[in-house]
Structures are given as C-alpha cells and as structure tokens.
Structure 1
C-alpha cells in the first residue's frame, strides 16, 4: 500500500508497532516549532509512531551527540552538517542508507544530482539533505542607486569586482567600502580555488598550495590598500560569519559574502533594499550544497522507520510547506516549487529565485569535507586576521596555515 503525499508516493510505514523515535537537532524556537509540527503530521498518518523531541543551540551540540553515540544511546534521528558528516560516517555513528536508496525506500531522485551526491561518504549514502543552500554576495541596492553605480552580476571576475568595489568607495567619499574582505571565509576561498580547477581538500590534506593561499591573501591585502575593502578593525566582527555583524547592514560596506538564504534575515537589519548575486568568478565553481542533513543512528532499534521518517521530511509536500525555508530551500525540487508559491517574504522569494537560477549553472559537487573541517575553518580565520592586522605577511600566514591544517586533517 502507498500513501500519496503531495509530490511523491511513500511506502507504508514499517510495522514496528507502538514505537517512539528520539529526534535531536540544533536551532532556535522557530525551527523547533516547525519541526515538531511536521513530525506531528507524520504521527497523524502513522499513529503507532511517536516522537521524543530534543533540541538546543549550536554550541555544544556535537559534543553532546558524540558523547551519547559513544555510550550507544544516540538519538534515532538527528540533524548534522558537513562539518561532521565525514567524521561521523567514519566513526560508524551514522546509519548506512545506501541499500534503502537502492530499494527506493529513501527516494533522492527529486534532489539535484549534486545535492544527492553530497550525502555520500566513500560511496555510501549516510544522510539525506534536509535543505539546500549556496553562497551569495548580498549587496546594498539602495546605496548603489544613490551612487549611480551598476549592480554586481553573475560571472563578474574578481579583477572587475574589486575595481567596481574601489569605485564604490570613491563615490561614497570613503565613507562606505565597496566590499567586505572575505579572506577569512572558507567558502569564498573554496569557490575561488574551484574557479581554478582546485579544491579546498584533496583527501586528508588541503587541496591547494602555499602559493595559492599567498595569492588569495595578497588579493585582499591589495583590496584593503586601495580601500575597496575596509580596515582590519572594521572587518574583524564579520569574520565569524555572524549574520548580525555583516557590513552590508551595518553600513560599513556595500557587499557581504554570506549564504544566500540569509538575505531575508539581513534585510530585517536595514531599511535599505538589498540584492543578491553569486560570488565573483565562474558560477560553475558553486554547487548544490546541503545546508543541513537528516541522519539516522547506526544503533537504532528501528532503522526502517527512521528511513521512512527521513523520506517523509525530505519528500512530503505537506511537511515541506510546514518546514518552509527555515533550514534553507527544500531539497526536493517539486516540494521547493510548492513552497515557493506560498512565500510572502519578498527577500525569501528572491533567495529562492536566485537558487533556482543557479541550479542550471552549478558545477559538480565536491566530496563532503574530511574530518577536521571545523578546525580548518577556524585556522583560516586565524591566518587571515594575522594578515589583516599586519601581524604576518601573506607568505608567513600561508605557510603556518598549510602546516597546521595538514596536521589537523591527519591527526
């Protein structure tokens, strides 16, 4: 028997009568409310399956999950991201979903190819994308109109972008820099490398040379010298990626390098109208990236039911309409279209339209980052800031980063 669920047909829930699945995720109250609502729909359809909900902030989430997994009592179903996907797969914490995908018990056919691939570690499917996101350059449309400057566009080279940013600074009489300096932003570095047919990682080592990183740091050192980008003291608050500290809304820069789905949140922080475009460089450097994943615990007593719930969260139209864009854009393309039609937030509509347009431009997805990715991100911020504040040359910072990064990846 099948149950039609809007965009896809789901097989009947496995006959594990009267079971309770524990579900764990990080996020705020809004995410908790929507996730609970979606899973309550599942229980309405399959009354024998109920859920125990647990959620918290991001800080300490993976420490708790790791401790519980080591004790053999991790949640049946939990949220994970690409910082830890590979590590948790290698530690045999994640339920192997490969055979379920082959048997169509977990349907990933409505996901973009790159998004489905992004949940594979060493050829095994170990999770399913909860949503999709991609980097986005968010810019101040109101400011550019006031300065009579053209808006940035998809495919703009870095050379052209930095010349454009320098002119923005000049036309604002030096009051507003043309661009944020994203030299500490791993995703900006990654896309810049991919535009040169290189990757951030190559197995358990970084996928680029010390010379590549020197060129990256030097490019942004030049941008600061020309005043296309602001001084280090202005840049530093935004280096962590905190959406509330981004220079495009604080009035310190005309652009910020962020995630495309953050447009709506950033728009709430300014009265100026914001726009969205891809990062500079070849758009094929970008890919359909899972903002978050749903994964099952390898030790769950109810693997088939866990898989059925994951399939529901990814593919069910009603679940998708409830979850909306809180975790990013729906991974299932049919569900995404249905959600898009119900949106009333103009900024979110713009994010969805951008992602849809970029889907046709995306390049192949890289393999998920290796164990140690979170450490690498922190090391890049440390290295970039040492250059930004003049504490190290580009070469010194690059050499230190390469050494520390490779050590962290092989430890």
Structure 2
C-alpha cells in the first residue's frame, strides 16, 4: 500500500508540473518520463539543429517504443542517410509513458522535432494547437506518394480535409496468451471470446496451472466495451451517460475480486506499460492486452510461443467492437525549418521496400499495398502471425472511433486512478462509475472551451 501511495503522489506531482509547463488544455497519457535526455535538453537540441547547417539538412526524429523498435528504426534511418548524404537525421526514442510528457514540453516551447511519431488519440490535440504541418501540399505534388495507399488511411490522418499525419502501418487491438499454459490447462481459446468466457477460462487456467489472469484496466478496454454496447466512449462521457461504463466497471470489479486475477500490488510492480516488465513475460499472467504491432517485441522478449486472439466482446453485444487502427502516425512539425526534407523522408519511410525490409511490420502491416505484398514472404514466423491476425480482423472490423477529443489524456489518467481503487478494493463499481463519469464529463467540457 505504501508503494502505491508513493507512486500515486509522485505521479500527481509530475502531472501538475507538466500541465503547468504546457497549459491547461495539454493532454497526457502518463507522467513517467524516461529516455536519454530531459525534455528541456531535447528542446534545446531541437532548437539548435533543425535548420540547414554546413550544406547539410539536419532533421530531428523522435518516436516512442522499446529496444526492438529502436534498433530497427535506427538501422532504417542509417540506410536513408547513406542514400542521401546531404541529410543528417538525429534520432531519439522514449517509452510510451515518458514520450508525451517530453513532447508536450517541447511543443510548449515551439520546438517539436521535425518529424514526430504521432498517435491517433493525440492527433486532434496537436493539430488544434497548430503544432502540425499540413502534408496535403506534399501529397498533391507527389513528394509523398500515396498511389498505393488506401484513401481511408489518408483520411484517418486528416482533419477538416487536410492531412496532418501519415500512418506507417495498420494494427488492431488484441489479447495475447501463452500457448503452453493454455494447453496445460486443457482449454481452447476462440478467435474472440465474451467477457463471461474470459472469466470462466481464466478460472480454469488458474485451477489447472496456478497462473493468474489480467483484465485490462486501460482506456482501450473502455472503448471496446462502449463499441460492443453500440456506442462510443467519448460520446457517452461528453453527455454524462453511464451505460457502457456500468458494463466496464462491473466487469472490472468482478475480475478484481477473483482469486485468479493478478494482485493489484504485483501489477503495479510489473508496470504492464513497458514491454520488458509486462506480467506475461515472466508468466505472472497467462494473458495480456495490447495492439498487434507490439506482438513482435513482446514475443521476442518473452522468448516463447504466444498466441493471438481478438479483444473480448460482451454477451449479446450490439456491434462488433474490433477495429483496424492506423499504426504509428508520423507528422511534420509546423515549427520545422525543413518541411520538404522531412516530407521526403516520410515518403521513403512509408513507400520504400528497403526501409520496410528492415522494419518488417514492427509498427504494423505496411499501408503501401505493394510493400506489404513484397515483405510478407520475408517476414519471420513471428511477424507472419501479425500479418495473419490483421487480415483476420479486416474481415470483421467495424469503423474506428473518431480521433479522441481534447482532454483525452486527463480522462485516461483519471480512469487509471479510479480503476486502481477498484483493483485494491477501495471503491465499488458503483462508486467508480459515480466518480469517473461526471469527472470525465467535466474534463471534456473544460478542454473543449
């Protein structure tokens, strides 16, 4: 309990600091900052290297991820620089938790990296604050070639008819499971189970193997539950509607009380937001919830055979909740002094078979159809699983929700706090609903002003 209180206090202090730096409307997913340098140092570096120097164009490129993504991205960037000796690209990566804190601090100073890895959930926020360059002109001139890219992909990175982000790949929400543990328990995992089935299967696995289960407590699961209920999370929260959150928190409480669920203390210690410490890695749990592009790094880190199934739905669902998501958008900063050079790199990153031979779908299945066809036979067995899963999802997927509204980061942070209270038994489902929905509504109202 002391650990939890300390972590919560530190998180709150960091959140206040970041908000003070970025303004009241700046959203964040988490408050833990990691990486090679501080946000201030990175901002200073960006300011000093974004212009052309010594006959070379210098670009700054930032992304979030893990060591696997870092390695392949740097290798691809090195190849690009070898082919374009007049371009020098300075790279930096941070894990998901620290990335958005660092980016928001840089945005506040008007010094975003020239090329920014962007997420669908943050696109609306950064575009509205004028931080992202309009890529439409580079698409219309052919600097960024989109002839082999589905129009829906371009639209997913567009707001009000202008494109602000290009997706490198497509992915989908998935549940990961340990095949050996599942086989030992003698259970079969369907392509998509209901929450009731997940509960029963988790109970059987624990009784047969002693391995515990994880019920996802993040905003992705909230959105899946709302979609299964025939709605959309932020549509409900904006109006103060509780229907889908009743399903979500009642299910959360049911799993939290079950002997077969991983304890709140151990889950906090593991930090499932970081690949290397996810509880499935050391078999603390038999399952995990993530996006399909993370499968490669998680599987390689675990070093054993992991299966994939779709996010669970609810019994008597009103619609199929699974969807395809544009994976790992890349945007050009409006503050960049080398927008055209940045656009040329994005064109190569998305459309080059050479680049994607290195990346091998680590950020999702390539959006360029010709590139996807070219690299699939070259992908290893682990990567082939991702190709097959995305293909399976594409057969049943329903349209993705609209980009998340301003205030999403604060709503997500609130959700984590309320979910933690339920996990520890400090709040009932009813109390959680009574706190989360009206507070989320207020956050969204304030952010929209």
Which TM-score band applies after superposition, normalised by the shorter structure?
0.7 to 0.9
Preserved contact between residue 201 and residue 369 of structure 1 (Cα < 8 Å): yes
SS in 2 for 1:336: helix
Preserved contact between residue 77 and residue 306 of structure 1 (Cα < 8 Å): yes
Name the counterpart of 1:138: 176
SS in 1 for 2:120: coil
Match status 1:324 vs 2:360: yes
After superposition, where does 1:379-398 map in structure 2 within 5 Å?
A: 379-398=414-433
Q: 2:290 aligns with which of 245, 250, 258?
A: 258
Q: 1:101 aligns with which of 132, 139, 144?
A: 139
Match status 1:157 vs 2:194: yes
Name the counterpart of 1:368: 403
Match status 1:304 vs 2:336: no
5+ residue gaps, structure 2, are 1-53
Name the counterpart of 1:229: 261
What is the number of residues matched between the two proteins? 387
Match status 1:294 vs 2:327: no
Preserved contact between residue 61 and residue 116 of structure 2 (Cα < 8 Å): yes
SS in 2 for 1:267: helix
| 156 and 208 in structure 1: CA distance in 2 versus 1, 3 angstrom threshold | farther
Preserved contact between residue 203 and residue 260 of structure 2 (Cα < 8 Å): yes
Name the counterpart of 2:34: none
Preserved contact between residue 185 and residue 239 of structure 1 (Cα < 8 Å): no
**Greater alpha carbon shift after TM alignment, 362-371 vs 378-387:** 362-371
Cα separation, 1, equivalents of 2:277 and 2:80: 38
Preserved contact between residue 226 and residue 245 of structure 2 (Cα < 8 Å): no
Higher helix share: 2
Cα separation, 1, equivalents of 2:328 and 2:303: 30
Q: 2:386 aligns with which of 341, 351, 362?
A: 351
| 113 and 288 in structure 1: CA distance in 2 versus 1, 3 angstrom threshold | farther
Preserved contact between residue 138 and residue 276 of structure 1 (Cα < 8 Å): yes
Cα separation, 2, equivalents of 1:268 and 1:170: 28
After superposition, where does 1:238-277 map in structure 2 within 5 Å?
A: 240-270=272-302, 273-277=305-309
Cα displacement string for residues 318-370 of structure 1 (whole angstroms, at most 9, x for unaligned residues): 121122233333232332232222223x3222122212222232211222212
Q: Once the 2 structures are TM-superposed, how far is the Cα of residue 85 of structure 1 from its aligned partner?
A: 1.8
5+ residue gaps, structure 1, are 1-16
Preserved contact between residue 225 and residue 247 of structure 2 (Cα < 8 Å): no
Q: 2:221 aligns with which of 188, 210, 216?
A: 188
Preserved contact between residue 36 and residue 53 of structure 1 (Cα < 8 Å): no
Match status 1:315 vs 2:351: yes
Q: Once the 2 structures are TM-superposed, how far is the Cα of residue 45 of structure 1 from its aligned partner?
A: 5.0
SS in 1 for 2:441: helix
Match status 1:86 vs 2:118: no
| 219 and 304 in structure 1: CA distance in 2 versus 1, 3 angstrom threshold | same
Cα separation, 1, equivalents of 2:101 and 2:205: 44
Q: Once the 2 structures are TM-superposed, how far is the Cα of residue 273 of structure 1 from its aligned partner?
A: 2.8
Preserved contact between residue 70 and residue 93 of structure 2 (Cα < 8 Å): no
**Greater alpha carbon shift after TM alignment, 397-406 vs 376-385:** 397-406
Preserved contact between residue 135 and residue 258 of structure 1 (Cα < 8 Å): yes
Preserved contact between residue 130 and residue 293 of structure 1 (Cα < 8 Å): yes
Cα RMSD for the two superposed structures: 3.0
Name the counterpart of 1:200: 233
Cα separation, 1, equivalents of 2:291 and 2:240: 23
Preserved contact between residue 25 and residue 79 of structure 1 (Cα < 8 Å): yes
TM-score normalised by structure 1 residue count: 0.82
Cα separation, 1, equivalents of 2:349 and 2:303: 35
Preserved contact between residue 233 and residue 244 of structure 2 (Cα < 8 Å): no
Q: 2:371 aligns with which of 304, 311, 335?
A: 335
Cα displacement string for residues 187-213 of structure 1 (whole angstroms, at most 9, x for unaligned residues): 12211211222112239x547733421
